Structure 1
Amino acid sequence: MTAVQKVAIAGCGVASMSVAIPLAEAGASVDVYELKSEVSALGSGITLQGNALRALDALGVWDEVRAKGYPFDGLTLRAPGPDAAVVAELPEARTGGPDFPAGMGMYRPDLARILAERATSLGVRIHFGSKVTGVHETATGVTLDVGGVPVGEFDLVVGADGLHSTVRELIGIEEQPESTGMGIWRAFVPREPEVTQTQLYYGGPVYIAGYTPTGDDSMYVILVEDAQDRFSVEPAEAAEIMREITRAYGGPWNGIRENLTADTRINYTWFTAHTIEGAWNRGRAVVIGDAAHSCPPTIAQGAAQALEDGLVLSELLLSRDAVDQSLWDAFHERRVARARAVVEASVQLGRWQLEHDRDADAAGLIQSVATQMADRP
C-alpha cells in the first residue's frame, strides 16, 4: 500500500522528474503538466555536484548522464590578468560518495531530455503547452484545472514549476524569489583543451569569471556582475559585452573570447534567493525545487537540492499509507533545514563579494556545506 495512486505534477524540470520517476516505477499514475511546448531548459550548461549524481543514479539515469557529461574532481582558482596565474588547486569533496566524481558539467537540455525519456518509458504522461490554473482541495483528494478546464481529481498535486511557480501562488504561499544584487552571463562554447575542471577567477571587472567543461567538445562560461537591465540585449551586443569583459582575463579566456559571437548561445539572468518559511504544502498540494527554495549558483547545489526534494518526497509517499500530517512532518524535517543551509551559504558568498570583504572565509563556508551535503538527506 502506498499513500498515492494518482499524482499530478506541474513542471517538467529535475524536481518534477525526481518525483515522477520513482512513483511511476512503483505503479502510480503520473501526469505532468508543462507550460512549454517541448522538453527544454534555459541556459547553456549546468554543474552537478556529487550528491546530485548520487540522486541521478537513484533515478536510473547515471550511465546516460555520465556518457553525456564531463566528470571531474577538483577546482582551480586563477587570478585576473594576462598570465591568469593559478592561485590554488583545490580538491573537492565527493559529496555523492566514493562511487561518483566530485562534480560534472553537462549541457542542460541533455539532462532534461534524459530525465523526461526515463519518465515516459515508465508510463509518465507529459502534457506540453499546459498551464495549471486551479488547485482545489476536496474531501477525497485535490482537483486540478489546466487552461481553465478541470482535468480530474488526484491524490496529490506537486508544484515543481520553478522560480515563478503558479502552484505556489494558487495554494496561497506568498514567499517570492528576490534579487540578491548580482546578474550572470552564461554562454555555451567549444571546450578549450586545457579546461578539464571548473576554473574560477575572482576579481577584475566582474565578481567571478569562470568556466566548466560539459563534454569533450563543449564548455559553458559565466561572468557574474552587478545586476543590470540586460534582458533586451541583442545577441551580437551580448557577445561583444562578454568579449570586452573577458579581455581582463588570460589563459583559456583567450580562446573562449574568439568563440563568443552573435551565434553563440548566451543568456543573462539575475541571482535570486528565497526559502518558504514553514510548511511547503497546503493540504494535498506541495511545492518543491525552485518553487520552494532558490539560491545563487555560487555553491552549485540548486539542481542537487531539487533532486533531493523529489526523491525524499517520493520515498515517503511510497512507504506510507496516507498523505497526512505525519508524512508532511517527516518531509519537512528532512528537507527544510538542508535546503535553507544551501540558500543561506550561497547568498552569503555573494554578499561577501558585493561588500568586497577580503577577510571572509569563503573556502571554510563552502567546505562546511559540502560536509553537510555528503550525508544523505
Structure 2
Amino acid sequence: MNKIKTALIVGGGIGGMSAALELNKSGIETHLIDIDPNWRVYGAGITITGPTLRAFKAIGILEEVKALAYTGNGIQIRNASGEPVSIVPTPPTDDPDVPGCGGIMRPLLHNILAERVKTARIKVDLGITIDELENALSHVRARLSNGVDRNYDIVIGADGIFSKVRSLIFPNAPKPEYTGQSCWRLVAPRPPSIDRRTFFLGGKYKVGLSPVSKDEMYMFLLETGPRHDFIPNKELADRLSSLLSGYGAELADIRKSLNEHSRIIMRPLEAFFLPEPWYSGRTILIGDAAHPTTPQLASGAGMAVEDAIVLAQEIANSTDSVDSAFTHFMKRRYQRCRLVVENSIEIGRREQAGESAEKQTQLVEESLSVLTQPI
C-alpha cells in the first residue's frame, strides 16, 4: 500500500487523543481538531474496568492513572439499606500488573491525555470541525469549518455520539435513541467505608458509589422514566434528594448533604450500534461515533482507547491497502464492541424491569469475563 503519512482526527476526546498518540508513534503526521475552542470536557467521574486499564497501559498512561485516580478490585453489592449482599469479582486480565477496575474524574483523564498530545507535538486546532468530506482513491479531501481545504491519507471520526463525520459518510445511519433511563452523577467526598466500587441494588433505582481518588468518589443513580430534556440547575439537588429517599448508609448521608452547590450532572442515556462497516473509503469511525453505549459495563472509554490501539496496529501492519487495514480493524473490533453495547442495554432493561440483583450482576460478570480476553 502507499504508506499512510497523514491523518485527520475529528474529535479531541478520549478516543481521538488516543488515536493521535498511537498514530504518532508510527510516524504518521496527525492533525487533531475539536469543535470546542477551549478543549474542555464535561462530566463527573467514570468507572474503568481491568480491560480499560490494560488499554491505558498500552498507550502509556496507566502509572499516572494509578497515582492520581483509584484502582482496585471487586464490586461490593449491597441492598437498599446498605447491608452487604455479595462481592462481584472483577476478572483479571492477561497482565498481572493491571488492576481489576478503577475510577477517575473525566477531566483528569482528559488532562492526562492532552498533556501527552502536547508533549508529542501533535498538531491541534480548536474551535473547528469538519464541513465536507470527499473520498478519493489516494486521499480524502476535507473542508474544515474555517474554510480551509486539505488532503489527508485517512480521516478518523472520533467525534462522539452525535458524530458529524458519521452524518457525512453514512447519512442514513441509525440515530441515538433514549434507552428509558437517565443517569444522575454527583461528585462527593469519599468516606473510608467506600474502599471499592459499591452498588446498591434492590431499591427503586440502581445506585452506585465509585472511588475516583484517595479523597473523592462519584455517585451514579439510574432513573427509569420519561426522558428529561432539561432540568434547571437550581432544581437538581431537590430532584436528586427525592430519588434517594429510602436508601440507607452512605446514600442517606449524601442525601442530607445535597444543596445548590452540589456537583450534580443529569444526562438521558442514549445508544445505538452502527452496522458494519464503520468506514467508507479512507474515512473511518471509532469510539462513540460508531458504538455509543450506556454505562452499565463501564466500558465506553475503554472501547474507544482499544479502537485507537487496534486501528494504529492494523495501519502499521498492513502491506496491501487502506481498505485492508480497515477490514482487519473491523474483524477485531465489531463483535467485541457489539457485546458491550448490546449487553449494556440488556442490563439496563433488567434494571428497569426490577429484576433481581443476581440477574443484573450475572450479565455484568459474564461480559467482563469476555472483555478480559486479549484484543
Do both share a fold (TM > 0.5)? yes
Compared with structure 1, are the counterparts of its residues 55 and 218 closer, same or farther at alpha carbon in structure 2 (3 Å cutoff)? same
4+ residue runs of structure 1 moved beyond 6 angstroms?
Answer: none
Structure 2: gaps (5+ residues): none
Residue 364 of structure 1 deviates from its aligned partner by 2.9
Q: Report which stretch shifted further, 23-32 or 87-96.
A: 87-96
For 2:302 and 2:262, the matched residues in 1 are separated by 27
Residue 163, structure 1, aligned to residue 161, structure 2: yes
The Cα offsets for residues 11-34 of structure 1, whole Å up to 9 and x where unpaired, read as 011111221101112221111110
* Root mean square deviation, CA, Å: 1.8
Correspondence for 1:27: 27
Correspondence for 2:128: 130
Residue 67, structure 1, aligned to residue 92, structure 2: no
For 1:16 and 1:256, the matched residues in 2 are separated by 35
Compared with structure 1, are the counterparts of its residues 6 and 322 closer, same or farther at alpha carbon in structure 2 (3 Å cutoff)? farther
Residue 279, structure 1, aligned to residue 277, structure 2: yes
Match of 1:236 among 234, 237, 244: 234
Residue 257 of structure 1 deviates from its aligned partner by 2.4
Correspondence for 2:287: 289
For 1:364 and 1:205, the matched residues in 2 are separated by 19
For 1:267 and 1:364, the matched residues in 2 are separated by 28
Q: Note the 1:1-377 alignment, pairs <5 A.
A: 3-81=3-81, 84-95=82-93, 97-147=95-145, 149-173=147-171, 174-206=173-205, 208-321=206-319, 323-358=321-356, 361-377=359-375
The answer on whether the counterparts of 2:71 and 2:101 sit within 8 Å (CA) in structure 1 is: yes
For 2:67 and 2:357, the matched residues in 1 are separated by 41
The answer on whether the counterparts of 1:168 and 1:287 sit within 8 Å (CA) in structure 2 is: yes
Residue 328 of structure 1 deviates from its aligned partner by 2.0
User: Helix, strand or coil: the match of 1:99?
Assistant: coil
Identity of aligned residues (%): 30
For 2:52 and 2:163, the matched residues in 1 are separated by 22
For 2:319 and 2:3, the matched residues in 1 are separated by 4
Residue 58 of structure 1 deviates from its aligned partner by 1.1
For 2:279 and 2:73, the matched residues in 1 are separated by 37
Compared with structure 1, are the counterparts of its residues 191 and 159 closer, same or farther at alpha carbon in structure 2 (3 Å cutoff)? same
The Cα offsets for residues 186-230 of structure 1, whole Å up to 9 and x where unpaired, read as 111111221111111123232x11110111111111111124443
- Using structure 1 for the length normalisation, give the TM-score: 0.94
2:194 maps to amino acid = V
For 1:272 and 1:58, the matched residues in 2 are separated by 29
User: Helix, strand or coil: the match of 1:252?
Assistant: helix
